[in-house]
Chains A and B, each alone.
Chain A
Amino acid sequence: MPTWIDACAADDIDEEDVIRFDFDDRTFAIYRSPDDEYFCTDGLCTHEKVHLADGLVMDHTIECPKHNGQFDYRNGEAMRAPVCVNLATYPVKLESGRVFIEI
């Protein structure tokens, strides 16, 4: 049963940036786009399990800090080798200045 989880304050994430959010034994990456929208994906790169929150957000892509593979964080699409497997994405909503993710 999916549940909405309070992940962070909206202001915790800079514009065009990402932060890591750990919950239970899982890790997520929460993004704030240049258009001030919020998104959430799995936190680890599908290539070699590196934390994407250490990577670079450019427009709507996240680049893995280890091998520079890229994903579109809006839909998880793998865009550039060496990543070939898409990222899982999760619904996000904003309420009272807080970011909630549904997992």
Chain B
Amino acid sequence: MKKRDYSLLGPDAKRAVETGLAAAQWYHTDITRKQMKALMKRDDQPAIRDTFILFGSMMFFCAIGVLLWPTWWSVPFWLAYGVLYGSAMDSRWHECGHGTPFRTAKYNDWVYQVASFCMIRNPVTWRWSHARHHTDTIIVGRDPEIVAMRPPALFRIFLNFFGILDTFHGLKTMLLNAVGKLDREEITYIPESEHHKVIRVARIWFCIYAAVVVLAIITQSILPLMIIGLPRIYGAWHHVLTGLLQHAGLADDVIDHRMNSRTVYMNPISRFIYWNMNYHVEHHMFPMVPYHRLPELHALIKHDLPPANRSMWEAYKEVLPVLRRQLAYHDEFILRELPKTAQPYRDDFHETVLGAGGVNQPTQLPAE
């Protein structure tokens, strides 16, 4: 059984470079240039509409929450505000980081800055981190954004449904950056020319959070923190619920997104909050396609992808037993069957994970 080292500075990081897994050429479904150009085309309107709905809803729920504070009647409004702050901002951070939702670049940048602040993710650091995630998706020792490692840290994942560890880590990193330092792992993927930007943002954020805390102390109330800061905790559950399904239980150290990413059909509210990132195989294969065109991309290439999970419920029924097995058997993973219309998985791409027998080699399942 292979023991994995997820540190970006450890032996698996070195091994990924030596074996050619790092910065490799990945599998892509064939699609004509004309079709891809049409799908990549940028348009401000869908994202402007969604952004008005998002910020309008946040202001509405927050205002009612404040008016009803401190009664229990305010709770549903805080929960609604929280999920937009602590979860919808995750997908806005993600999409605007790619620069695809809006045609106008400055709109992407504005929303990206706001969303990064809400999620307590330094916008400079995390842009580079996410670039690495796309270069080396679920490559052990290279990808800094692997959520479900092997063995899976289930308690840690559970805590993050309440944003606890992510918030703590975000604040700790902000303080480190604010005093002019960068984490050792961050240095491996952020060019030196960008370091001063990381530090500048952290110092601005520190001032904002300090002002909110001072206001809370002066007013002897946590209300200011209910508006800024705490929603990152009490509203985080939805982005963890949806985000965990992106890669959990699937293969690592492969260079075919069909093997390490998952598409799940979701209800319209979750898709609004998640900005269509439930089409995750499609997003990784073609990150240039804006969120609002992903359903079309999915329809175009689904003949070449494993069937999408029909609901979050169905996806979790697939994921949870594997995560449980991975506690004891780290090499366990789900290899999803492709439709007959698909190009087969290329065994020669993935011998390290599939073994010499490739996809036809039976997986050794542990006794339940």
Chain A contact residues, CB within 8 Å of chain B = 17, 47-49, 54-56, 58, 63, 65-68, 70, 80-82, 84
Contacts and interface: CB of A to CB of B under 8 A. Distances in A.
B99 A48 contact: no
Contacts of A55: 288
5 residue pairs, one from A and one from B, having the closest CB atoms: A82-B131, A56-B40, A67-B131, A68-B99, A68-B98
Instruction: Tell me whether chain A's interface is mostly helix, strand or loop, or mixed.
Output: loop
Contact of B37 (A17, A67, A70): A17
Contacts of B40: 56
A95 B131 CA distance: 41
Contact of A80 (B41, B105, B135): B105
17 contacts: A48-B135, A56-B37, A56-B42, A58-B42, A58-B103, A63-B99, A63-B288, A65-B286, A66-B134, A66-B287, A67-B135, A67-B287, A68-B99, A68-B288, A81-B194, A82-B128, A82-B131
A80 B288 contact: no
Interface of B: 23, 36-37, 40-42, 98-100, 103, 105, 124, 127-128, 131, 134-135, 191, 193-194, 286-288
A65 B127 contact: no
Contacts of A84: 191, 193-194
A81 B127 contact: yes
A82 B127 contact: yes
Contacts of A80: 99, 105
A70 B100 CA distance: 12
Given A56-B37, A81-B127, A82-B128, A68 B193 contact: no
B196 to A, nearest CB: 13
B334 to A, nearest CB: 26
B107 to A, nearest CB: 14
A70 B127 CA distance: 14
Nearest to B105: A80
A48 B42 CA distance: 23
Nearest to B26: A66
A81 B124 CA distance: 9
A17 B98 CA distance: 20
A48 B23 contact: yes
Given A67-B131, A68-B99, A82-B127, A56 B194 contact: no
Contacts of A54: 36
A56 B105 CA distance: 14
A39 B236 CA distance: 47
A81 B98 CA distance: 10
